[in-house]
Amino acid sequence: MRLIVLGGPGSGKGTQSKKLSEHFGIPWISTGDVLRAEIAADSTLGQQVSETLAKGELVSDRLMISFIRKRLQQTDAANGWILDGYPRTAFQAEELDFFLDSLNTQVTYAIWLELPTHSLIERSENRAAIDDTPDALRRRIETLAETTIPMLEYYDYRQRLLSIDGNQPADDVKRENLTGIR
């Protein structure tokens, strides 16, 4: 099982990825969590991306692609994974498929958690992570519309897109995910 979870800020990508990771026994790879951990550790990567995250902008495709390529070649990822927050641009999506082709595999489903903007804002405000300031949140929602939503066509065209109503209790979202995956 090779799953991608896509959605806006606060849409529940992390919440659902954790549930699906436990259900299928596959690693949960959250690019946002990895980047925040690098910033907290003040690593070279963390220093490179901290300003970008604080502004709510996307980290460069070059950095993200390089990270994902390495991560997906680790042994725990050999039999499946769930990517939370990756890909986020059409270029990342195309490059991921290109890379998976070279490994003779492919994405099983791209799950799109659909929520109205006001729910994204409410959930993110309640959570208040380092990149949940009003300006960064506004920018993250703009970025979602500019780069992530256009990317959905890519998976829809390849008949791998699973659109899920994310605006319901987390266990109901999980149930809808599992129904769609089967």
- Interacting residue ranges for ligand AP5, rule: CB under 6 A: 7, 9-15, 31-32, 35, 52-53, 56-59, 64, 85-88, 92, 123-124, 126-127, 131, 140, 169-170, 173
In the complex, what is the shortest distance from the CB of residue 74 to ligand AP5, in angstroms, rounded to a whole number? Answer: 18
Please state the closest distance from residue 3 (CB atom) to ligand AP5, in A. 14
Residue 94: CB minimum distance to ligand AP5, A: 13
Give whichever of 26 and 166 is closer to ligand AP5, judged by the CB atom. Answer: 166
Nearer to ligand AP5, 20 or 35 (CB): 35
Q: Which is nearer to ligand AP5, 67 or 104 (CB)?
A: 67
The Cα–Cα gap between 76 and 157 comes to: 30
